[in-house]
Structure 1
């Protein structure tokens, strides 16, 4: 049987083999990237509930710092591949071997000179594995996970971490209001905000990195809708809307002023630092988006990420 590969060509490291991209595949491809491209610097920023290192990839030597993250939600794992794919394209262009027609050597060299990019492609590794493998390898959590998932062995719609906490409802930006609005008081596949802000090690690690590095702007990749959210309770800086419009135009997305949502990573960043933050809802359809959509999604997303590196 021939297993289809998405986002792949003979000279590519980052790809989806078949229909899955789990933590093991992620780590294998990160190891190969590290061997191939010395401009990619890997470091763990913390561990998941089950002890998996949460890897951050740094590239660039500029004084302007940018952050991108992905796979905050378990069944949105395709965003992890998109971000890692972008990092490979960037590193390859720096070596004078661009793999993407939309990224030139000159562009990559300018980014490397001016910016330092800090990327966390898989914020929720336990959840990513759960959404694709089910609960059979979750040890002591298996019976609880089945109960939280209404006894269904199908976890493909699971968004939360392994403890049933939605990591994008974990940040201290009107957290109490978000918990009341969600109305979910116990672990679940989505929308449970946890016992308190930053109770989960994955969210805490992301917050610690963000407080440590003076990020000029941040982007968090989610799915789906082809929309870019850029505001938060009027805390966003004046230039945020125009930046969102430019990013949306680059990727043929829509810039949306969003209300009635709190406690997300982008929300907290905007409130805490008063700098531009964006949630990018990639692709269209029902989560998890099919791997067969990857190539079409990447064309748009790579243009958006390149735009974010070029302001």
Structure 2
């Protein structure tokens, strides 16, 4: 047994050797116990202490969503390799049901209602294409693997997202939300809920004011199947399959919802064994599917994220083991979502592990992010999934309609162009490297409990701005923030007769842009538009500067946003006490339009 497999199974071996085996061998008698199984299976392990055995199985890395305790036994889903190890530990698993292609399984249940029942990858794509055809101005398809990820999944499949907005072809200045399903491909009811929500929005646009408000006010991204390779395998080979389909030696697949960076290397991460159903992968974000979702999220900076799984009928919030200072507030919000879904106020819990998708969205993007467990089984009848989707739509709508406590835009105070800026809340003691920032389009948001807090907006080359915001339990504080660029000029050695004065220019926000020096005899303010004011005129000194009096009077700032201008001052005592002003401006590279105006340097020639 390899070290990683030992870590997964040795705790079970201790239990088996101590007191579980005698009961496991005889408690409930017969049942098939083959030497091996060809595919995943539901199995039963008999035990007088099922709760202890269940905890040991969880500690060994088995999927908590696929473990059920009974009066004298534990039922769980195992892979063929996990089955072999359970047998080697003499836990005597009894095979209850072998996995088979989902089509066969549903046919046996008399519930195969294609195309009105569960849809495979091709049918889901056809349905999304039909929605685009019916609503061309409000829906468009995006392959997020090709656009934001490595190109395709291991088996060469796209990962399709449907974008819904009022002018979907345009990049509008509006908040963005993400709803995803089927990280775990056997959870086939989750895409049903996402597709149902899409229909309620698009079909309700003309008649439902709430649907119209969401489409008009948001850019909504829906990913019905994050794991298309695994989803295909569920329909065609193994209905209990959970992971993706990338091979690792003799084993296959990574648990995509253990592959995200937050907590991936911690004590609450997924399994390190490739044989496990909760294998976290060889490295954080190692998988094409994970990379695609991360790439999309970094590009779009989603304000809110909802991830659907099954089963359990509950909403998960916060981190598992890592410190998260807003944990109690997110729990309160999770209660509201569970109530909206019809699950009740007690149907919330912490997650099973770390390395999960929604946790990464909390950590890196600061999103309003949760995981909802639907249903009471992985693969209920289609009619049951559709009925639950009606409830889930209420949750999705409440999730999207929840007022953002604070939002706005960050802009350059001189150019008024949007800025990506870091946002810090000194009163919130983050401990896991949480990042909060405005998007490249300047849009920012912040989720936090009620109370007055200072937020600090910063970017290299700009003066940090502090904004005091009264967060409330309901309602939104809208606050636009202007960051003043630091555009400086200095003469650290002074300006003296008989010497060459060096003027050091620095504007880190203008690195490698063109600058124009503008020395002048007076400090008369000249408005240059958009609130920019040049403290000086265009006079004789300006003219002489461009006729050779100043060196480096124009050029390009270097990669650090720096440059130098020089002026030789003759040895002439009559110049002592002579005042002038040194300014410069920077230009937009694309159109030579004015960008920034420096702070003036007031100079007096010295002896």
> Which TM bucket (shorter chain)?
0.7 to 0.9
What is the rounded CA distance, in whole Å, between the counterparts of 1:204 and 1:196 in structure 2?
12
- Say whether the 8 Å CA contact 1:230–1:255 is kept in structure 2: no
> Offset of 1:183 from its aligned partner?
3.8
TM-score with structure 1 setting the length: 0.80
Q: 1:112 to 1:181 in 2, by over 3 A?
A: closer
Work out which of the residue numbers 219, 222, 227 in structure 1 matches 2:309: 222
In the other structure, the counterpart of 2:177 is 66
Provide the secondary structure at the position in 2 that maps to 1:81.
helix
| Residues 32-64 of structure 1: per-residue CA shift (max 9 Å, x gap) | 111112211111111221111111111125612
Which of structures 1 and 2 has the bigger CA Rg? Answer: 2
Q: Does 1:302 align with 2:393?
A: yes
- Say whether the 8 Å CA contact 2:269–2:355 is kept in structure 1: no
Q: Does 1:89 align with 2:200?
A: yes
- Say whether the 8 Å CA contact 1:157–1:288 is kept in structure 2: no
Q: Which has the higher helix share?
A: 1
- Say whether the 8 Å CA contact 2:314–2:349 is kept in structure 1: no
Work out which of the residue numbers 213, 226, 242 in structure 1 matches 2:332: 242
Q: Does 1:252 align with 2:342?
A: yes
Provide the secondary structure at the position in 2 that maps to 1:117.
strand
- Say whether the 8 Å CA contact 1:223–1:284 is kept in structure 2: yes
Work out which of the residue numbers 178, 187, 190 in structure 2 matches 1:79: 190
Q: Does 1:45 align with 2:144?
A: yes
Q: 1:167 to 1:236 in 2, by over 3 A?
A: farther
RCO (CA 8 Å, sep 6+): is it higher in 1 or 2? 1
- Say whether the 8 Å CA contact 1:69–1:120 is kept in structure 2: yes
Work out which of the residue numbers 148, 159, 170 in structure 1 matches 2:259: 170
> Offset of 1:275 from its aligned partner?
2.9
What is the rounded CA distance, in whole Å, between the counterparts of 1:84 and 1:204 in structure 2?
23
Please, which moves more after superposition, 251-260 or 65-74?
251-260
Q: 1:89 to 1:260 in 2, by over 3 A?
A: closer
| Residues 252-294 of structure 1: per-residue CA shift (max 9 Å, x gap) | 2244231551000011111222332100101113x23332312
What is the rounded CA distance, in whole Å, between the counterparts of 1:183 and 1:283 in structure 2?
25
Q: 1:208 to 1:80 in 2, by over 3 A?
A: same
What is the rounded CA distance, in whole Å, between the counterparts of 2:115 and 2:324 in structure 1?
38
- Say whether the 8 Å CA contact 2:316–2:370 is kept in structure 1: yes
Provide the secondary structure at the position in 2 that maps to 1:176.
coil
What is the rounded CA distance, in whole Å, between the counterparts of 1:83 and 1:124 in structure 2?
14
In the other structure, the counterpart of 1:264 is 356
> Offset of 1:174 from its aligned partner?
1.3
- Say whether the 8 Å CA contact 1:4–1:17 is kept in structure 2: no
| Residues 92-133 of structure 1: per-residue CA shift (max 9 Å, x gap) | 01133xxxxxxxx11011112222111111111111110111
Structure 2: gaps of 5 or more residues: 1-106, 146-151, 167-172, 247-252, 403-607
Structure 1: gaps of 5 or more residues: 7-14, 97-104, 135-154
Q: Does 1:160 align with 2:243?
A: yes
- Say whether the 8 Å CA contact 2:121–2:228 is kept in structure 1: yes
Alignment RMSD, CA only? 2.3
- Say whether the 8 Å CA contact 1:236–1:270 is kept in structure 2: no
In the other structure, the counterpart of 1:206 is 293
> Offset of 1:182 from its aligned partner?
4.1
- Say whether the 8 Å CA contact 1:66–1:217 is kept in structure 2: yes
Provide the secondary structure at the position in 1 that maps to 2:163.
strand
- Say whether the 8 Å CA contact 2:263–2:269 is kept in structure 1: no
Q: 1:5 to 1:156 in 2, by over 3 A?
A: closer
TM-score with structure 2 setting the length: 0.42
Q: 1:16 to 1:224 in 2, by over 3 A?
A: farther
Q: Which has the higher strand share?
A: 2
What is the rounded CA distance, in whole Å, between the counterparts of 1:64 and 1:236 in structure 2?
25
- Say whether the 8 Å CA contact 2:306–2:370 is kept in structure 1: yes
Q: Does 1:115 align with 2:236?
A: no
How many residues are aligned here? 270
